Every structure is written in C-alpha cells, then in structure tokens.
Structure 1
C-alpha cells in the first residue's frame, strides 16, 4: 500500500473533465498594481488623448455657453464680445488652463480621465500606488509642453517620466509567476 499514488494525482490523471486550476492574483503577495497589470499600449494611450481632447473642448464649450447665458440675463457684460475678438495667444492660454484643470481634477480624484475610463486604463506611480496631487499637477503641466503628445510614441510619454507615473491597462491582468516571465515577450 505504500507505493500507491496520492488520490489527487489519480483524480487528475483519470478525470479529463476536472476543472482547470487557475492562479489568482493577490495584491498583498504581488506587491503593487504595476506588477499585477500590463502597461497601457501606445494605441490605448493615443485613444485616451483623443477622447480627452474632445472632453476638454466640450468643457470649454459648456463654460462659454454658460457665461454667454449669464450675459444674456444681465449678470455679466462684454463677455461674448471678448470671445469674438479673442486673439490666438488668449485662446492658447485658456485652452492650456482648461487642460490643466481637467487632468488635475479627474486624475487626482479618480486616477483616471474620461478617456482612461472608457479604455480601461489608470494612472499609478512607478512604485504602483495612487499618484499624489503634486505628481498629477506636474503631469498636467507637462501636457501643455509643445509636441508633448508625440512623446507617447517613444519609450515613455514625457508627462509620465517627468512626474514619476505610468498608465496601466486594467483589462490586461498579469497572473502568476509564469506571466511575469512572459511579460517581455508580448509587449
């Protein structure tokens, strides 16, 4: 009787209908989100940027419309004349301020902008935690640097590198030690 295999080994060998055993990610053992999820692809980052640009301009349109209605009612005066006569520098400055506010508010409160919410991505620190207000603010200011959107096609976007953050894909979970080893092959 000592030479008999264990019951589990017999069951695995005999029962072809047994359910597979899946590895479960426990963040306490993995350490942080950066080790549990893949970084977001360049395509998703580009889609995030496009969605967020539309959102920023949408916020601008809503604010201008609200202030225009306030002028119609008589609360303010001269706003619509100023908007019609706005020069290029004023337009760029207002868009920059709106961009900084949009990203700072959304990424500080939710670690996600509207684009990241749609694509299933999230901002984290390089250590894997939630970014601080100052790192998100730095990230937001970095976004108004000319040609910064093109940096996402390199190794790392400038706003990530300068603020010590990264964007992970919440829909691509890395499971177990084998996935950690294969991580480099599928990027």
Structure 2
C-alpha cells in the first residue's frame, strides 16, 4: 500500500470517526482518462467541423492543438471546480477531494488542471501510482458513497 495515497486505514475526518473513502484504483483512473479523452475528441471534432471549412483544417496542422488544449483546460478546470467531477467521474461514480474529504480549493483545482498539461504527465502514474496532477495539488479521486 502506498503511504502517500489515502486508504480507509489512514485517511479520516477528525470530527467524524467514519473512515474516508478509499482512493480508486489505477484501472478506474485509466477508464476515466479514456472516457474524458473520447468526449474531448468528440467536442474538438464538432467544433472543427462546425466552425472551420475542410480546406482550413487540412492546411493548418496547429488548428487541432489550438482548439484541443484550451478546451481540455476549460473542461477539467470548470467541471472539477464546480462539480468536483468530470463526465467520466460521474460515469464511474467518483469525485475529486482533499485529504479531509472536502471540496478542493480553487488554487488546487487550477494547479491540478495545469499539471495535466505537463508533457508525458501520464507516465507519472508509473511507480507509486500517483499522478503529478494529484500529488502537486494534494487532491485524490475517490468513490462516491452509495
């Protein structure tokens, strides 16, 4: 068990003696990643097809990146700030929280979102299983109680 990541054994609210939810496994994190990225790819494709002629898309290789990155930033930042979860987290019954099972502050969500744009950030899950966007923002993804 990784001591940096919450578990029902060492992660609790001081005023409430019930154990905190267990952090989700890397399998669930991978499913969340895939669902969110498929959704973002569909949104990016829709925007490009709706607002740009095929000739512009074919001639401008940076168009995809100039739409995709701001859209991805807005998606994660707004969803996790206002709702504590993205579409994928809703589908897998998860949410983002702090070590005290509180809504993360705006600064933590901003840092979490910025860290997602570090090149090869997904490799940060190798080893201890904690992504940089979790580690640096001190946030966790846990299952929502039934």
TM bracket (short chain): 0.7 to 0.9
For 1:144 and 1:151, the matched residues in 2 are separated by 12
Instruction: Verify the 8 A CA contact 2:20 2:101 in the aligned structure 1.
Output: no
- Of 13, 17, 20, the residue aligned with 1:30 is 17
Shift in Å, 1:86: 1.5
Q: In terms of Rg, which structure is larger?
A: 1
Does 2:73 correspond to 1:127?
no
After superposition, the CA RMSD in angstroms is 2.4
* Residue segments in structure 1 that go unaligned for 5+ positions in a row: 1-25, 69-78, 174-187
Instruction: Verify the 8 A CA contact 2:44 2:71 in the aligned structure 1.
Output: yes
Instruction: Verify the 8 A CA contact 1:27 1:36 in the aligned structure 2.
Output: no
Shift in Å, 1:167: 0.6
Structure 1 stretches of 4+ with a deviation exceeding 6 A read none
Compare the two structures and name the one with the higher helix fraction. 1
For 1:86 and 1:162, the matched residues in 2 are separated by 35
* Residue segments in structure 2 that go unaligned for 5+ positions in a row: 1-12
Give the TM-score of the pair, scaled to structure 1. Answer: 0.63
Shift in Å, 1:164: 1.6
Question: Per-residue displacement from partner, 1:64-98 (whole Å, max 9, x unpaired)?
Answer: 23324xxxxxxxxxx543322112x4433432211
Shift in Å, 1:44: 0.2
